[in-house]
Amino acid sequence: MAITARSLAAPARRCAAALAAAVLCAAAAPAAFAADPAPAASPKLPKGLYGSTDPKYDGVWRQSLALLAQDTTGVRPADSAVDWLAGQQCADGAFTAYRADPKQPCDAKTMRDTNQTAAAVQALAAIGGHADAVREGVSWLKSAQNDDGGWGSAAGAPSDANSTSVVIGALAATGTKPESVTAKKDGEKGGKTPYEGLLAFRLGCDADEKDRGAFAFQAKDGKLAANEDATAAAVLGALGKGFVVEPGAQAPAKTSCEEAAEEPRGAAGAAAEHLTSVLDAHGHHLMSAMPGAESQPDVGNTADAVVALAAAGRADAAKQSLGWLRGHSAAWAKQSGPAAYAQLILAAHATGGDPRDFGGTDLVSKLNATGPKPASAASDQQADKEQQDEGGVSVWWVVLVGLAAGAGIGFLLSGRRKQNQL
């Protein structure tokens, strides 16, 4: 199977199962600071899909993030965009990266993907109106749980920290308590929980001090190596958070190294501390780790780290890295497309920033332009309200002014302009 530049540029948790799940995900590098080579010509894209590049490896993923980011900013996505995503689901509830012909049923050769399923479940749950699809997606994810409590990128693939974290986020986003979803033990449920599966990838007290608290993607030859992409994902997973994080989270209470090995919130706090130290060492951004590639800033993983830090209550550190993103993400997002704009929007949202003024760029408009026109946009509604606040003429104002003029009384019409949240 051919490996495209775009598929290799995606962060490890975005790896499609079609890309030889465990092997490629372990080696795949996060989206780089420099623009990727221009993608090859894409086939004719279906109505409703976001992005202009071949969706073979990331169609459901980028669609899900785009819809989540729109929903977060008060934009109601186009019906065609939501319908396209829902139509990608297999009859058993799973999603693959892309089905060119959804009318053809999924068969045994269809590579069902836990990451794309978990992302789609989060998006459809947030938008609403697809309760059956969400329920069936969660049911399939439960069926794909490994005996160690975690998930790999495909059913039966070895567990990894990224996939386990994304699935935990989907469970939490749909009102399912992750700790209640247990693996099979002696043929019955009641085995390890998702949190136990996730914490198995944590570098513990015997690790080098600089790596302590970090997470590995997977064990290699029985050893764990710190991976910043996996660490950012694991912070959200350990906190039971999905992709959308509301600002204002409180930092977990500090726990000892030994306690953090068994207590998810404590592990999340320690992982956030590790992320902070790495970000500080590089000027508030992460570096690309693609094997053989030139060391360079990693915009995508930095955006994910911002969300993770915000979720862990490290607001100051998150805002510092968000500031770096404001000045260094425009070219990357333009080249990478809708998922990149969505990542930046979610990072801004998690820190209380304004995605409509992100280093001089309106991320929401940029995202909207990559797909079908939204059904409605909060910015339009806000503009109408501001017009009224500033003296926009309405029927009631006409009546009141007319009455005032007839009585010989002058009224000063004034309004207030709301301050945009910084």
pLDDT in tens, 352-392: 999 999 999 999 999 999 999 999 875 454 444 444 444 44
Burial 162-178 (b: 16+ CB within 10 A, else e): bbbbbbbbbbbbbebeb
The residue behind tokens 């660490």 is: 231
| The pLDDT value given to residue 258 | 87
Contacts of 259 by beta carbon, 8 Å cutoff, 6+ apart: 266
Strand partners, 358: 361
d(CA 354, CA 128): 25
Give the helix ranges, DSSP H, for 241-391: 257-260, 264-281, 299-311, 315-328, 330-336, 338-350, 363-368, 378-389
Contact 300, 11 (CB under 8 A): yes
* Inter-residue contact 50 to 66 (CB < 8 Å): yes
When pLDDT is cut at 50, 70 and 90, the band that residue 254 belongs to is: confident
* CB contact at 8 A, 214 and 271: yes
Residue (of 5, 10, 2, 6) closest to 229 by Cα position: 10
Specify whether the CB–CB gap between 248 and 349 falls below 8 A: no
Closest listed residue to residue 300, CA positions, set 97, 14, 56, 4:
14
Query: Pick the residue with more confidence: 262 or 98?
Result: 98
Q: What is the pLDDT of residues 101-130, one digit of tens each?
A: 999 999 999 999 999 999 999 999 999 999
Of 272, 374, 271, 373, nearest to 317 (Cα)? 272
Q: pLDDT per residue over 303-356, tens digit each?
A: 999 999 999 999 999 999 999 999 999 999 999 999 999 999 999 999 999 999
Q: Is the pTM of this model over 0.85?
A: no
CA-based Rg of the chain, rounded to a whole angstrom? 23
List phi, psi (to 5°) of 137.
-65, -45
Dihedral angle, C-alpha 392, 73, 9, 269, nearest 10 °: 140
> 153 vs 1, 135, 160, 407, CA distance in Å?
17, 20, 8, 74
In one letter, which amino acid is 108?
A
State yes or no: pLDDT of 30 exceeds 80: no
Segment 134-168, tens digit of pLDDT:
999 999 999 999 999 999 999 999 999 999 999 99
- Which amino acid type is present at position 403? L
Length of the chain: 422
Tell me the mean pLDDT in the region 251-272: 91
Mean pLDDT to the nearest integer, 246-251: 94
Q: How far apart are CA 309 and CA 314, in angstroms?
A: 5
Please give the pLDDT value at position 288.
Answer: 87
Q: What is the C-alpha to C-alpha distance for residues 115 and 106, in angstroms, rounded to an integer? A: 17
Give the CA distances from residue 290 to residues 66, 263, 280, 303, 317, in Å, rounded to whole numbers and listed in that order.
25, 32, 21, 17, 25
Q: Does residue 186 have a pLDDT over 90?
A: no
How far CA 74 is from CA of 303, 364, 370, 380, 422, in Å, comes to 21, 10, 17, 10, 17
Q: Mean pLDDT over residues 66-72, rounded?
A: 98
Closest C-alpha among 323, 316, 298 to residue 232: 298
